[in-house]
Structure 1
Amino acid sequence: MATPKSSTSPWILLALASGAFAALNGLFAKLTTDTNTTSFAQSLAHLFGLDSSPFLELLVRGACLGLNVLCNIIMWALFTRALTAGPSTVKVSITNTSANFLATALFGMIIFREAVGGLWWVGAAMMGAGCILVGMREGA
């Protein structure tokens, strides 16, 4: 019996994942230098009954830097695979950028408690509409 094919093209999933890893890359880059990382290191120390030390904070920041580099590598690997599998570089780039943009906004709101107002969402919708128009212009 033949297995049914997915209606979603593989390049779309690769481009979306690439955009998500690009956003994670930015997240970990910010956590490498952000004051929230200090609070997180102190919480870890408290959780494990350790004294809060600059070494632990440095270790957490180093882990964030390592995750930053890892996410960047994964993002580029997924992006190049999406470019290879996709119908056009424009469609892959638009999908990647849109996913990155939205994931970055969500991470900012959830992790850093950044305010994203209505005007930002209007601008994001306009950018999305522009991306769709450019993608439609490219053809199927």
Structure 2
Amino acid sequence: MLDNHTWGLCLAVVAGTMAALASVSAKLAVTADVVHELCLTFASSIDNMEISVICDSISYVLRGICVGGIFLFNALMWTFYTKSLQYCPSTVEATVTNTGANFLVSAVFGFSLFGESFSILWWFGSCLILAGLVLIHQGSQDTDNSHDDSKKVK
């Protein structure tokens, strides 16, 4: 079984993932050509000249679903984030974990779905964000240990 601190971090990571999915849904909802290309890619096994016309129609439905996804994923993000605040020892830790997860998952989706590439400066910044996240986690563990020690002395 996970302790409260670990459970809070897991919830914050899930919240960050939901936020990234909301962003992906928004990008898909407003970018018609990406949705159309995805439809053509999935339908490429079918040899039919009407696939492009069918994908035009399907893209409107998929974009509508993505608009709904924006609201759904944002609602899930807030639900998981507020739950993570209950279990994390500090709001800073929950917020930074949520933001870090959002950042990294958005990068994975950007690369895999939208063909985005990342410069060396982006990777350097990502490493700094992750290092800051580790420092915040380490600092919160040190604070928890000092509180436990002070309780033992009394």
TM-score range, shorter chain: 0.7 to 0.9
- What is aligned with 1:27? 24
- The change in CA–CA distance for 1:132 and 1:54 in structure 2 (over 3 A counts) is same
- What is aligned with 1:73? 75
CA distance in 1, matches of 2:16, 2:8: 12
Q: More deviation in 34-43 or 108-117?
A: 34-43
Gaps of 5+ in 2: 145-154
Detail structure 1 runs of 4+ shifted over 2 Å in the superposition: 5-8, 38-57, 130-140
- Could you say what the CA RMSD is over the residues aligned between the two structures, in angstroms? 2.4
- What is aligned with 2:108? 106
Q: 2:23 touches 2:70 (CA, 8 Å); kept in 1?
A: yes
Using structure 2 for the length normalisation, give the TM-score.
0.76
CA distance in 1, matches of 2:24, 2:35: 11
- The change in CA–CA distance for 1:43 and 1:124 in structure 2 (over 3 A counts) is closer
Q: 1:42 touches 1:57 (CA, 8 Å); kept in 2?
A: no
CA distance in 1, matches of 2:34, 2:104: 22
* Cα drift, residue 129 of structure 1: 1.7
CA distance in 2, matches of 1:101, 1:53: 31
> Which aligned pairs between 1:1-140 and structure 2 lie closer than 5 A?
5-6=1-2, 9-34=6-31, 35-42=33-40, 51-52=53-54, 54-138=56-140, 139-140=143-144
The superposition leaves residues 39-74 of structure 1 with CA deviations (integer Å, 9 ceiling, x where unpaired) of 234556776976426543221110011111111100
CA distance in 1, matches of 2:105, 2:55: 32
Q: 2:36 touches 2:56 (CA, 8 Å); kept in 1?
A: no
- The change in CA–CA distance for 1:114 and 1:67 in structure 2 (over 3 A counts) is same
Q: Which has the larger radius of gyration?
A: 2
Using structure 1 for the length normalisation, give the TM-score.
0.83
- The change in CA–CA distance for 1:114 and 1:53 in structure 2 (over 3 A counts) is closer
Gaps of 5+ in 1: none
Identity across aligned pairs (percent)? 32
Q: 2:20 touches 2:105 (CA, 8 Å); kept in 1?
A: yes
CA distance in 2, matches of 1:32, 1:122: 31
- Helix, strand or coil: the match of 1:111? helix
- Helix, strand or coil: the match of 1:87? coil
Q: More deviation in 37-46 or 116-125?
A: 37-46
- Kindly provide the amino acid, as one letter, of the partner of residue 26 in structure 2: A
Q: 1:11 touches 1:85 (CA, 8 Å); kept in 2?
A: yes
